[in-house]
Structure 1
């Protein structure tokens, strides 16, 4: 393990992370980022499939498993289940994202584990939640995004519903689960007892769906895909430049006036078609066309500087190379370079949010399978070298 140690507001708390892929492990990453001692439990000889994910090179593991200790444990065996109970006795949280009912099948449900550790907070992330007629179904993030309503709104109206380009449903459910865990931790300070956090992917997506449901129930309106524009809010769109695209958001009256000045068309601000928020919304398409005909004559960088000088929110559509080169990213250390035994140029997003008194940090990248078996089973659980060797020989670890 790297000599550097995690720091942050959660230092001193221990998390046992079960499950795999994104929905549970991203919750563990958030907690490890802020100093929690996260022990990731993986199947011996197999490990989390995330170890193999990444475009061109399997680098995603470096991010989602950073700051975590990796141990191997076969939870399908009696020995493995007993060892998990030993770990739970020394833990504050347990994260799992198996199909609902899996832990109960192994005799590791909350009722049993809370008898071992009444203060345990169990974080359960699943497709449909722990109750209800769909709870036993297999559920991936993409299905939760569809069922929660996000997929229907993603993309251009001329195409089928789109993916947003990220596993956003999984990450939302994990983030909500982490938020719930902090609420439960506060309550434990009051009662001394833990509880279960039930974070369903489709409900985490649903929580982000703004006023789409009351728009239907009260106004019989169903939102549909609108592409890059926010309907009836103008100008706020992606506009062409001579070398790419730029996003300009100048929908407020005063900001629109400043945009008109920057365009050399101050009269547009008082034109009845564009003078008010409502009027601009009614003439959104023609206003976007007018602005686009102007922006396409300049490079994006020139327009970005011009908008900044006139107090108009604007920005290029960033990709990874843009982020690496941006001075603001550098000044705030939004990206961090980490040493890695196999990859010499690993950069990744830094810890977020930033805390002024107890900042987190990336101490190490995702470790090899079982890298911390001796530390966790020997030092934490007090098992001898002989006991650890016997567990390994039996395939338990």
Structure 2
């Protein structure tokens, strides 16, 4: 096998057809290459769970999934269009390995191909997600430097698995440097290993609006004409749909959603929620940029809401209590924007067009960026 002795191999969720996952992968690759002058290559790894999850119509494993597949097939043109849009973005923007991989066994020959390996950011250490894989803990690498940048466990502590409590501790022992994205991750690693690792910004936040638009072509004109409300999340509940419908009635503005599978499955047209019918991270950035009101339940919704200085609200639910999952609350606390983190009941009583106070954001964000760049500099220095 040809070696890339001067190249860093990257492992992350770059192949997820998810805007945040793909944009954070692009940001980290761009920063390593353009700020730190490191050659990088995204290892084109995507396990079978991930490939099936993002297939135009996933193969069902039980009768419930079979019903979902039947519903999705009623909107097959949009399923295929969405899939093709993310594949096109990946091919256009990423610097990837020439070969593709779907298992740790296939990755093992790469163990000495690169000068070093880096995993992260995103929820690559979330052991409960459908595309979870020990490969993202770089378990296949033996004799090369290993780093983790702003990794997230999601809401799942991997160190309390019954009967296997040392597995992930052993993985972490072999890393040269680790940084995480949230306080929970920092706390769990300290409890398990005794080591306090730094918290770094998600890579998307290391670029400002102008840098992003030099990197990604978001288009010169809005994808959606006129004033509109954009709701961004991978999923959408009936409660959220009713709330969005009520906002639409009050404001006279349509609500748009861009996840074709979820829109079809949850029959969002019943609540007058429109499908954008254009897809991909570039479209996502365009729609955030031009939205009159931006509502999200996604970490990377808050990220790009702040990058574009939008009037945004994060819907707080039982799945995002800070005691359980601090992905959004930790980030908004860092930026002094927790006033935008609300339940539907709270949002229903607020003036949703109350502007976000961004006056303190530069002072809050700059030290975090400096800290994150210093961490990446320490990674590069250790290789030199």
TM-score, normalised relative to structure 2: 0.32
- When Rg is computed on C-alpha atoms for both structures, the one with the higher figure is 1
Structure that is richer in helix per residue: 2
